[in-house]
Structure 1
Amino acid sequence: MIESPAAQPPSPGRPAGSGLHAPAGLGVLGLLLAVWHDEWSVPAAAGIVVLALAAGLALRIAALERAARQALAAELDETRRRLDAIIGQSPSALSLKDLDGRYVCVNGNVERLLQRPAAGILGRTDSELYLPDTARVFREHDRQVLETRRRHSIEESVVVDGEPRLYISHMFPVPDAHGEPALICRIALDITETRRAQDALVASEARLRAIFAGIGDAAIYCDTGRSIELVNPAFTKIFGYPAQEVIGRSTAMLYADAADFEAAGRVCYHPDMDSDPLPRTLRYRRRDGSLFWSESVGMPVRNDRDELIGYLGVHRDVSARLATERALRDSESRLRLFVEYAPAALAMFDRDMRYLVASHRWRQDYGLGERPLVGVSHYEVFPEIPESWREAHRRGLAGEVLGAPADRFVRVDGSEQWIRWEIRPWRDAGG
């Protein structure tokens, strides 16, 4: 049975009251103070009610406090779990050291790097785990981090399995509750293969640039919009433009005719073009305005994903060659006219005794009419040629000058012709 405290007369000028502790089974959590202005006493029932309220309130507070502690613990566990997952799954070698340089936390990559479990790493210093030179460098970097209290990013070489490996290490201080450095965090990523690939790429680019520069013809690399990005020294020699005047400009400036620029775009410089195109002969314009003929090829340049990234054009000045070929054709035409209209029976043969040209008198004297002769064997036209003449032909092809003042030629139909003939070899430019 719960009873209220005995009534006491109130002190003059002070209201009557009762102070009740609020028990919650876990110790005193607070104090519930009830005050009455009744001068004599507190009813027993009222005391019981107040005490019940106090007990209920205390239980409620305890329950809330316990739930809060559980929620905080769960949140802390979840935070730790996430942090452990981040540290464990990080592609980098992640570690924490105290101010004395002793490891207090490492992830699996550090274990693989040092080839020992975490238990063999924690509590040890760099001098116990690495070669002396490496440990000295690590200590110096840690000192810089603590002095500057800033993050440092440094490339470091570490010997792993007897092979030097290159790491990019990010180091920064981890502060305590007062903002003072308490730990040093190091996040190191192995960039050995990346650096090797970069070095190989640089070397490859250097080789390609050397090859590009050494091409004897004008070479132009342009982007997919046909704007010039790179030219070689031969370009300057042939077109007359220094590189800085053309970089970034359209290749249209080089064409003598705008229609040729458009046609080349349709044939050579488009995404679906043939990677092994045939050369085309076009006219181009030099820096001084003069025109020249170039034999040009254009080809696509693609990356390792087969994506078009630009075009390469190679141009060879063939003006002199074309002029020579034109002069040769003119000379051949004049020779052909001379032979065809010569008043004597003349014929020219190649080394296989195939006709190159025959005069009208030749056709007339041998009754050949308009029969096509070019490319036809002389012995097919005249199968009755005697062996003595065939031998004379062989000697003529060997360089002799032969002839006869009168020679009997029996035709296949039995008719006879008396012929005065002469054989002279004709030579190429090399003799």
Structure 2
Amino acid sequence: MPVEISDPSFNSSDDADEMTAKATLDEAFQQFADAMPSMVWACAADGSAIFFNQKWCEMTGLSMEDSLGDGWARAIHPDDRERTLATWQHATQAPHSHEIELRYRMADGSYRWQLTKAIPTHNADGTVKHWQGVCTDIDAQHESFEKELRGRNRVLLNLAKGKPLAEILGNIIEVAEEARPEMIGSILVLDQQEGCLRHGASRQLPAFYLDAIDGVTAGPSVGSCGTAAFTGKRVIVEDIQSSSLWEDYRDLAARAKLRACWSEPILSPCGRVIGTFAMYYAEPRTPDDGDLQFIASFAKLAAIAIEHVRADNKLRQMAAIVDSTDDVIILKNMDGVIEKWNRGAERVYGYSVTEAVGQSIKMLVPEDRIDELDENTRRLRQGERVEHFETTRLTKDGRQIHVSSTISPVLDSEGNLSHFVEVQNDTTSRVQASAELDRERSVLEAIVHGVPDAMLLAGLDRKLTFCNEGACRTFGYERSEMEGQSAAILYADNNDFLRQGERRFNPKTSPQNNIFEINWRRKNGEVFAGEVVGTIIRNSHGNPIGYLAIIRDVSDRKRSEAIIKESQRQLSTLFNNLPGAAFRCKCDNDWTMEYISGRCQELTGYTPEEFMSPTLVDDPAFPSWASVILAEDRENVATEVRQAVSDKRPFQLVYRILHRNGEVRWLWEQGESVLGDDGRVVALEGYISDITELHESREQLVQAERLAAVGQMISAIAHESRNALQRIQVGTDMLGLELDANSDAHNDLHRINRAKEDLLHLNEDLRSYSAPIQLDLGEKNLAEVWRQAWGLLDVSRKERDAELTEETGGLELTCNIDAFRIEQVFRNLMENALAACSVRVQITVSCTESEINGAPAVCVSVRDNGPGLTEEQRSRIFDAFFTTKSKGTGLGMAIAKRIVEAHQGTIAVGDAKDGGAEFLITLPRTLQ
């Protein structure tokens, strides 16, 4: 490496001088120099070489003669020659020691780095007598230095490329460990949020060790790194096993086979600890100066990396914020030329980055705003900041928008003004909204003052702060007379003022938005009734700031309501005393009632409220009118009503309904449609009355007349038919005497007799059905009657498994009846049961309390275990001449119905839950 020699152009004065200088060298020195393992040389005072030891000749391949003078310079590396000779010439001008690093060519043609040190020998007068030098081979160290330098450059290159911090710190550890192969490197980074040390980089430390120290908190005795981070100073632990700093981590280090740890705090430019750089060794070790320089150097390199990455991250974050913000951010130079243009600017103005950058800011400024731009530029050049400047700008498509602009001067590193940065917010929507708000405010004021009601605002002290014109009209005060006064001046009763303050105008109570009526007092002293609704006004944070009250003068309305109420009372009295129900309903499929008078409960069993409830038709609790009409009458009712509505004429109709108690009622209805302003039907109004008694009386009259006619006819027929049957009887009796009992003719005669008996039975049933029923009434126990009927059927049920079961529940069964007639009814039902049941006959009679038209009655259920009745049989069972038996007149159930109805009772088909047929006979205890 180094060798300080004269310039090659320098030549000694003559060989005599050179020999003189050489002679001055001590022979002992020459012997000593030849014995040295390094290259040793000597030069005259002027710098020309006068001696080289044997090692020089061996290493360079140059002889002594070839090397003297300036011949040695031929061994210098061409890249180092000029620098070396210039340095040596300068060194000979000053009598001081000197050293230099350079490359010499070796005998094998290779070059090796040498550190050359030159020491002057002085004469008595202090002048240089000659120079003595030695060359030390530092090729290995220099190669290591260059390798380290290349590694550092690689770190800096990755840093410039924006590589992740973990990768860069890993590069630093890699370079450090290449320079110190026996060393194990580690970098911990201080977590600024958590205040603990986090693993940054390490190539050789075991995973369990890294996991254990990751997240450690710095402290005065937390190993080498934790202590260095805590103190901010270098910590050298030569032997971990004997250091008190490692007391809590000694076993961990032993497990990782670590014995020494030197830790250097990584400091930011301001001296703040941001991490640690540590050098671990597997054996106890004491650092030398080179080690200390090494660890300090790499700690600084790590500091550069950490600070650079953090600064770069902050810049990226700021760039992301600038790029992602909706605000316009423009950077322009001193001439107003745009240099930066963010996405917010693209969105607001419509220009892309390439279209905007390089253009003058004036392209965004309307002509009538140029003076504003110049004035703002003047202020900025003076170092002022323009804040929240409201102006207009032009977009790419020529639209004029409103913006709020803040412009700041930007200074360079020397403090000189270099740029302007402008942050704009598009306020077009806000300006338009403000204009709309002004318009709405005007509209609101017009509404507030146009409202006839009194609107009052008050503070929390309940002093009036605003009164609309309606309040002035209502109370008779001028606004100036009310505003500033306590709201108490408006109350007729001060107690109402106090109560309202406790209940409604009290921030501590829950909101009350219900309407409340109290008395108020006008300026002239007049007291009037008024409805008030009030609320608490709160700010955006929910804190109360005042009260709002709206007061409506209802004195005129109350007078009108009183008149209407009296009219309604009179009308209600009229409706409720009519022998029927007035109604108003919708013209829909359900005839939904909007109103129906109270008498509807007598008609149907349902209250007006039940009909007017908005519920489903199939809800039995709340029926529609259509649901109470018998199913077989609904279509006819709908057809007749709609035809009348179509013809625009009133309608009258008679139909049946099913009363709530199960009775069928006949109703007469008259009504007409109500038309709206557009001519469409909006409702039906009319009157409904119960004509059940009239209808039944008419039916009974018709039936009586019919039966009377039938009775006369049947009486005549019965008289004649009885005579004919008697003659047939005489004839068959005579023939019976004449015919052989075993002949076919005798069998035919037997069939004739049976037919004669059937005709006689039919004749008797016809006489019973057509004849008027005259009752022989008396107090009789019903159980005795049906038991007697059952006893009369002994012959019919002989040799049959038939049983009669009674379930009276201890009920009193005495009624005012014709026992013979009621026995006939029970006998008919029991005969039918015996005929219907094929094998075992089980007839059950049960009784319950009942009512007929409000009068006490007994309901007797007679049910069997037969096949039951079909729907057709159920609907026709009481029709004359309808029968379910192969033999029979079909008059039995019709006669039974006439008998029960003659007792003012009812007979109906029941719903037997266990199968079979069931009949329900309801008889009043006393006939009316």
TM-score by length of 2: 0.28
- Answer yes or no: is the 8 Å Cα contact 1:168–1:189 preserved in 2: yes
Residues 193-244 of structure 1: CA deviation (Å, up to 9, x unaligned): 2222232222222222222223445331235774433112453455465545
- Answer yes or no: is the 8 Å Cα contact 1:155–1:168 preserved in 2: yes
Counterpart in the other structure of 1:88: 323
Distance 1:136 1:154 in 2: 14
Asked if 1:312 is matched to 2:532, the reply is no
Counterpart in the other structure of 1:133: 367
Alignment of 1:17-416 (within 5 A): 59=294, 62-63=297-298, 66-127=301-362, 129-130=363-364, 133=367, 136=370, 139-140=373-374, 142-152=376-386, 153-160=388-395, 161-222=397-458, 226-236=462-472, 239=475, 242-244=478-480, 246-247=482-483, 250-265=486-501, 269=505, 271-274=510-513, 277=515, 280-284=517-521, 286=523, 290=525, 292-300=527-535, 310-316=547-553, 318=555, 376=574
Single out whichever of 142-151 and 55-64 deviates more from structure 2: 55-64
1:156 counterpart SS class: strand
Residues 164-214 of structure 1: CA deviation (Å, up to 9, x unaligned): 321111112112234332111110011222222232222222222222223
- Answer yes or no: is the 8 Å Cα contact 1:22–1:54 preserved in 2: no
Q: Name which one, 1 or 2, has greater alpha-carbon Rg.
A: 2
Residues 308-364 of structure 1: CA deviation (Å, up to 9, x unaligned): 87422225395xx69x97xxx9xx9xxxxxxxxxxxxxxxxx999x79xxxxxxxxx
Distance 1:202 1:208 in 2: 10
Distance 1:135 1:125 in 2: 15
- Answer yes or no: is the 8 Å Cα contact 1:224–1:311 preserved in 2: no
Distance 1:147 1:189 in 2: 23
Pairwise CA RMSD of aligned residues?
A: 5.3
Instruction: Report the CA distance shift for 1:76/1:4 in structure 2 as closer, same or farther (over 3 A).
Output: farther
* 1:299 Cα offset (Å): 3.9
Question: What amino acid is the match of 1:144?
Answer: R
Instruction: Report the CA distance shift for 1:22/1:203 in structure 2 as closer, same or farther (over 3 A).
Output: farther
2:550 counterpart SS class: strand
Distance 2:306 2:539 in 1: 53
Residues 376-395 of structure 1: CA deviation (Å, up to 9, x unaligned): 59x989xxxxxxxxxxxxxx
- Answer yes or no: is the 8 Å Cα contact 1:145–1:172 preserved in 2: no
Residues 97-140 of structure 1: CA deviation (Å, up to 9, x unaligned): 0001111212111122332332222222124x436527836742
* 1:2 Cα offset (Å): 6.2
Distance 2:41 2:311 in 1: 47
Distance 1:274 1:239 in 2: 23
Question: What amino acid is the match of 2:364?
Answer: Y
Relative to its length, the structure with more helix (as a share) is 2
Gaps of at least 5 residues in structure 2 are 1-36, 43-95, 103-133, 143-287, 580-928
Distance 1:73 1:21 in 2: 35
2:445 counterpart SS class: helix
1:312 counterpart SS class: strand
1:272 counterpart SS class: coil
- Answer yes or no: is the 8 Å Cα contact 1:221–1:310 preserved in 2: yes
Question: What amino acid is the match of 1:192?
Answer: T
- Answer yes or no: is the 8 Å Cα contact 1:238–1:317 preserved in 2: no
Instruction: Report the CA distance shift for 1:135/1:311 in structure 2 as closer, same or farther (over 3 A).
Output: closer
Distance 2:399 2:429 in 1: 13
Distance 1:173 1:86 in 2: 20
Instruction: Report the CA distance shift for 1:163/1:117 in structure 2 as closer, same or farther (over 3 A).
Output: closer
- Answer yes or no: is the 8 Å Cα contact 1:134–1:158 preserved in 2: no
1:154 counterpart SS class: strand
Distance 2:393 2:532 in 1: 50
- Answer yes or no: is the 8 Å Cα contact 2:328–2:423 preserved in 1: yes
Distance 2:384 2:400 in 1: 28
- Answer yes or no: is the 8 Å Cα contact 2:332–2:340 preserved in 1: yes
- Answer yes or no: is the 8 Å Cα contact 1:292–1:317 preserved in 2: no
Aligned residues: 310
Distance 2:499 2:329 in 1: 60
1:105 counterpart SS class: strand
Distance 1:260 1:351 in 2: 33
- Answer yes or no: is the 8 Å Cα contact 1:126–1:138 preserved in 2: no
Distance 1:73 1:2 in 2: 46
Question: What amino acid is the match of 2:512?
Answer: M
- Answer yes or no: is the 8 Å Cα contact 1:22–1:55 preserved in 2: no
Distance 1:273 1:255 in 2: 19
Distance 2:538 2:469 in 1: 25
Single out whichever of 156-165 and 244-253 deviates more from structure 2: 244-253
Distance 2:533 2:323 in 1: 53
Distance 1:351 1:136 in 2: 78
2:336 counterpart SS class: coil
Distance 2:457 2:427 in 1: 32
2:347 counterpart SS class: helix
Question: What amino acid is the match of 1:149?
Answer: G
Instruction: Report the CA distance shift for 1:99/1:134 in structure 2 as closer, same or farther (over 3 A).
Output: farther
Instruction: Report the CA distance shift for 1:150/1:73 in structure 2 as closer, same or farther (over 3 A).
Output: same
Counterpart in the other structure of 1:399: none
1:184 counterpart SS class: strand
Gaps of at least 5 residues in structure 1 are 7-16, 24-43, 333-349, 356-373, 382-431
Distance 1:110 1:351 in 2: 74
Larger RCO (CA within 8 A; separation ≥ 6): 1
Distance 1:109 1:232 in 2: 46
- Answer yes or no: is the 8 Å Cα contact 2:496–2:518 preserved in 1: no
Distance 1:132 1:195 in 2: 18
Distance 1:315 1:300 in 2: 15
Question: What amino acid is the match of 2:409?
Answer: P
1:149 counterpart SS class: coil
Distance 2:475 2:489 in 1: 11
Distance 1:132 1:201 in 2: 27
- Answer yes or no: is the 8 Å Cα contact 1:142–1:184 preserved in 2: no
1:84 counterpart SS class: helix
Distance 1:81 1:182 in 2: 22
Instruction: Report the CA distance shift for 1:220/1:68 in structure 2 as closer, same or farther (over 3 A).
Output: closer
Instruction: Report the CA distance shift for 1:261/1:65 in structure 2 as closer, same or farther (over 3 A).
Output: closer
Question: What amino acid is the match of 1:174?
Answer: V
- Answer yes or no: is the 8 Å Cα contact 1:126–1:135 preserved in 2: no
